[in-house]
Structure 1
Amino acid sequence: MSHWRQREGGGWFAIWLIRCIALRFGRRVARLLLYPIAGYFFLRRADERLASRLYLERVLDRPVTSRDVFHHIHLFAATLLDRLFFLARGERDFVVEVEGLAELDRHLDAGKGVFLIGSHQGSFEALRALSARRPDVALRVVLDKQKTPALTAVLEALAPDVGDAVIDASRGGTSVALAMAEGASQGAMLALLADRGHPGESSRIVSFLGTPAPFPVGPWLLASALKIPVMVCMGLYLGGNRYKLVFEPFAESIDIPRVGRAEALDAVVTRYASRVEHYCRTYPFNWFNFYDFWQEMGAADGPAVSAHVPRHSDA
């Protein structure tokens, strides 16, 4: 599988400078910086620009313009900036609409824990708003800290307690599985993104926006091991200071048996991909996988299934 390897444009100093400007002068002033930043990435990052165009051509069903691609990159930059404010100030700078909260509360009140599976749509950081509303329930997010070390360091400096609650995917599958099992036993909300794999991670090929694409199987093997309720969770960006948190029931529990494993994984991954596709079509500029997702820019590999628990997608 061809995987996305994120490059942190500007490094630690640039991220630190944006953070200082944002927190000193406020969100409105900081958002003015997004236009030159997005323009820089639009002009300098040909691969990401092409990946955006290939995605938008599928989801918009019309000719894609350079303005569309720039808008896509700009919205991504806006959600990254908002991560600073969610961590530093909670939801006070935002209007956060929540859909499906009653079903989520039902699971949380039962004390069994909930597995929240999202995708790279909008901002998963909007979950912090829910965490503030349910301070009685811990939120543990699986995140590969080695993907964006500079950004991770700046964000954790803003909210050390949030950093301590992160389950670091870079430590390997066994460590992640043990940390999530511990969280489930404590009735926590466990969250990860399931639409991006790591090098060497097993995947299944399913239809996505009309074309076969690889999705990692690790999250579903974990869900099968944990045997707790699973909900699809999306932190969708609506523009301005508005976000929409959506919680959809997915399964009371996931069962991936050893016999018929490939068929079971295909079924659950296909269901998940269809929900991601639904939100892509509803909020087309919210999906932020700027890499060769359909393997049209390089060689494609066939599907594979692994019996072990691999590393998991970053948030």
Structure 2
Amino acid sequence: MNACLLIPHYNHGQQLAPVLERLAAMALPCVVVDDGSSAEELAAVETLAAHHAWVTLVRRPANGGKGAAVKTGILWARRQGFSHAVQVDADGQHDLDDLPQLLSLSKRQPDAVVTGIPRYDESVPRHRYLARYLTHVWVWVETLSLELKDTMCGFRVYPVAAVANVIEQQRVGDRMDFDPEILVRLFWQGTPIIQQPTSVIYPEQGRSHFRALEDNWLISCMHTRLVFGMLWRLPSLLFRKRRRKHWSKASERGAMWGLKTLLWLYRHGGRWLCRAVLPFIIGYFFLTGREARQASQAYLTRVNAARESQGLPSIGNGGWTSYRHFLNFGQAALTKLDAWSGKLNVGPAQFPNRQLMIDLFERGQGAMILTAHFGNIEIFRAAAESEFRKRINVLALTRHAAKFNAILAELNPRSQVELLQVDELGPETAILLQERVAAGELVIIAGDRTSATNFGRVHYADFLGQPAAFSIGPYVLASVLDCPLYLMLGLPGDPTPQLHFEKLADPLCGPRKTRNQRIGECVDHYARKLEQQVIRNPLHWFNFYDFWLRDDGQLVDKE
């Protein structure tokens, strides 16, 4: 990402000086586009540009409007080879402390526009605050969507190529109509738009260049054009992809129905009947689960590319391979029933780090164990129960924990496994688990699922060639519990399964700055270990959704 700052300027020399002083810390090149300022104001801006070596002044011959200045700056940025341009107003309205966050969001999704959603204080003129809602309503009509919350805030990070393409090929307003129109047109063409709350103030000595009559007329004409443009694009807008379902919503489709059916067969016919019927049950989910099927095939495409880069053969990504992927998930569920009922034979399992596990158990020390939706760790649960009678608390970010516990009690009343439903890894969860860890119990949680309720509590780590969101919740919880963190993955094997077990970190407590760095390093290590095993055993990783989708409320539906 190669970004520059872009400041449209018209007779704001006095207000521009403190803005540049604050932006200097960002260490980014800056272009100030003067839009025909008066001779006195232009001289002031020239002095500022000469004082700051990182500032380039581009002069327009006559005043054309804010939109014209931004267009000039975007085309200049493209000629200079910048990939992104950060639009900042010259009058000091924007909270520049939010700029690093906007840049971070843009870096995570370079093809997106990142735009501010204003949070106003008492300085905002009441009539201007209310007038914005008229534009909001028109934008919702023009996009047939409520996704764009505010299109008039000029604090944005633009992908230069996408915006330059629009302004060169389409008619976009040159004055105050530019900001809302460019967002609507980018929305029409499918450019992702990320919206970030930011504070906006109206300085007491501020000077507004909004012309009540002329600019309101131009904005009215703009909305008229956009409404007709919407009608032309009506079919594509109606069938436009909406926010994707979060895994916590997508994975609930028939999950309990399938498990209860498998449980009934297991009780009445044993394992052999389940194995006989399982392909048909899985076939039903495969044929009716279009999104899960598509996610499986997209994942297989990624993992094949990773395998080929390591000299491993492709396993294919067609319907039959995807069905085998689903079928392995069903067979893993059957193994869970064996473990929960106390019938799983752990004798042939391989434990390369068995002594590390034994030492943990014999010390009676509580710990958090990070796992994944990969292979099957039921070998560990069975061994922990049968050999050490170790109580295990499994944190479940689903709404079915109570039902799973009922099934466990019915299968095996002596089971030492308890599923704890948690909506978010917050203070309540920490309090709940503090006593259990102190008593030497184990806490197990999967590290390859993000929060089912909140956004943003993630760390992006490279996974199969692209950054993916991994929740930081388990690591923060481990630091609060002041307990060691282990990594455990059940590795498939025929006929002998294995268990990968290693110490991931000592207690992650300590100063916030150091702790956050250590958490990021732990997440990266976890992602690397999981990636290694997924590449070797691609049909045994069971996340049937778009794992690489950004953890962002504009893209994902968690409601």
Which whole-Å CA distance do the structure 2 matches of 1:130 and 1:145 have between them? 25
Instruction: Say whether the 8 Å CA contact 1:98–1:245 is kept in structure 2.
Output: yes
Indicate whether 1:271 and 2:525 are aligned: yes
Counterpart of 2:246 in structure 1 is 3
- Seen in structure 2, the aligned counterparts of structure 1 residues 93 and 217 have a Cα distance that, compared at 3 Å, is closer
Which whole-Å CA distance do the structure 2 matches of 1:252 and 1:153 have between them? 34
Indicate whether 1:199 and 2:453 are aligned: yes
Deviations 1:30-83 (A, max 9, x none): 111111112111111111011111211122234422111011000001111221
Return the offset for 1:174: 2.7
Which among 75, 79, 82 is matched to residue 328 of structure 2? Answer: 75
DSSP 3-state at the match of 1:73: helix
- Seen in structure 2, the aligned counterparts of structure 1 residues 266 and 258 have a Cα distance that, compared at 3 Å, is same
Indicate whether 1:251 and 2:505 are aligned: yes
Indicate whether 1:183 and 2:426 are aligned: no
Instruction: Say whether the 8 Å CA contact 1:97–1:244 is kept in structure 2.
Output: yes
DSSP 3-state at the match of 2:341: helix
Counterpart of 2:300 in structure 1 is 56
Which among 521, 537, 543 is matched to residue 289 of structure 1? Answer: 543
Indicate whether 1:18 and 2:262 are aligned: yes
TM-score with structure 1 setting the length: 0.83
RMSD of aligned alpha carbons: 2.7
Counterpart of 1:36 in structure 2 is 280
Return the offset for 1:185: 0.8
- Seen in structure 2, the aligned counterparts of structure 1 residues 2 and 220 have a Cα distance that, compared at 3 Å, is farther
Indicate whether 1:212 and 2:467 are aligned: yes
Which whole-Å CA distance do the structure 1 matches of 2:534 and 2:510 have between them? 27
Give the stretch that moved more between structures: 283-292 or 211-220: 283-292
Deviations 1:213-263 (A, max 9, x none): 1010100001112222221111233357x5322211212332463225553
Counterpart of 1:97 in structure 2 is 350
Long gaps (5+) in structure 2:
1-243, 306-313, 554-559
Instruction: Say whether the 8 Å CA contact 2:373–2:446 is kept in structure 1.
Output: yes
1:7 counterpart letter in structure 2: E
TM-score with structure 2 setting the length: 0.49
Which whole-Å CA distance do the structure 2 matches of 1:25 and 1:171 have between them? 39
Which among 365, 369, 388 is matched to residue 135 of structure 1? Answer: 388
**Relative contact order higher in (CA < 8 Å, ≥ 6 apart):** 1
DSSP 3-state at the match of 2:358: helix
1:238 counterpart letter in structure 2: G
Instruction: Say whether the 8 Å CA contact 1:2–1:300 is kept in structure 2.
Output: no
Instruction: Say whether the 8 Å CA contact 2:361–2:388 is kept in structure 1.
Output: no
Counterpart of 1:307 in structure 2 is none
2:459 counterpart letter in structure 1: R
Which whole-Å CA distance do the structure 2 matches of 1:161 and 1:144 have between them? 24
Return the offset for 1:195: 0.8
**Equivalent residue pairs, number:** 297
Instruction: Say whether the 8 Å CA contact 2:424–2:453 is kept in structure 1.
Output: no
Which whole-Å CA distance do the structure 1 matches of 2:424 and 2:520 have between them? 27
Give the stretch that moved more between structures: 89-98 or 263-272: 89-98
Instruction: Say whether the 8 Å CA contact 1:139–1:165 is kept in structure 2.
Output: yes
The structure that has the greater radius of gyration is 2
Long gaps (5+) in structure 1:
303-315
DSSP 3-state at the match of 1:238: coil
